[in-house]
Amino acid sequence: MNNKETTSALFTALVGLGSSAALAALALGSEHPYRAALLILGSAFCLAGLIGLVLPLFLSSKAVTAHVPDAASPTPPAPLAPTHLRLSDFALASLGKDVSLPDRITPAFLFAQCTGKTDIQCEGAVAVYVGKRLRVSGPILAASRVGASTTVTIHPVLGVDGRQDIYMVFEQDHEEISVMQVGDVLTATGRITQLNSSGMKLADCRLVS
């Protein structure tokens, strides 16, 4: 008999012993001085034996059903933001209710909240602004088209240290953008989806006349 069988037999014996003690206690008169003690002892033996028998089965089933990563699962797609922005994915916004930020909340103000902070600290500092619509303006650095969407990168004059580009996604093609050149000033609003000390990404952008 191996250790597993020996242990199982021991716990089975505990259940049997506890049951016998409990039945003997019930057979005694209600006024018997040892009736309560014998009943408690029998119940304790039964409970200990049942736990010893059931717990290994539970642990074994958990081990069998544990999640094993699928080695053949596809590699997740790369972030949409261009590499030169070095934007992290911590601030992906939920594009729900359309809320515009007041004029006093500018790109310079938002980038200043992240100055001297790590991306983790920046996330907490600007979380309240992510998902809301911001007005931006600056000279065009690049523009491209992917399907029906137009993407534009601008570099606003912020008056803060470093280079903070703003990467904008227009869901529909705009004829005005197609005729604009590098250096032309573009003004638009968009929902903030990513933001850290090195750049910002806006989605659902709209030109401002």
- Helix, strand and coil content of the chain, in percent to the nearest 5, comes to 40, 25, 40
Q: Coil, strand, or helix at residue 158? A: coil
Mean pLDDT for the stretch of residues 192-207: 90
Range with the lowest mean pLDDT among 24-28, 70-74, 130-134, 166-170? 70-74
**Residue 208 pLDDT > 70:** yes
- Cα–Cα distance measured from residue 182 to residue 62, given in angstroms and rounded to the nearest whole number: 60
Enter the tokens of residue 96.
């729900």
Tell me the fold of 90-207.
OB fold (Dihydrolipoamide Acetyltransferase, E2P) (2.40.50)
Surface-to-core class of residue 52, CB atoms within 10 Å of its CB (0-12 exposed, 13-18 middle, 19+ buried): middle
Contact 197, 162 (CB under 8 A): yes
Average pLDDT, the chain: 74
Contacting residues for 3 by C-beta, under 8 A, at least 6 apart: none
192's enclosing H/E stretch is strand 185-196
Highest mean pLDDT among 32-41, 65-74, 122-131, 153-162: 122-131
Mean pLDDT for the stretch of residues 108-133: 90
pLDDT tens string 7-49:
666 667 666 666 666 666 666 666 776 667 766 776 776 677 6
pLDDT tens string 174-190:
788 889 999 999 999 99
Rg of the chain in Å (alpha carbons)? 34
Mean pLDDT for the stretch of residues 106-123: 88
pTM of the model: 0.52
Closest listed residue to residue 199, CA positions, set 141, 148, 150: 141
Contacting residues for 22 by C-beta, under 8 A, at least 6 apart: 38, 39, 42, 43, 46
pLDDT tens string 65-101:
555 555 555 555 444 444 343 334 433 444 456 799 9
The pLDDT, as a whole number, for residue 114 is 87
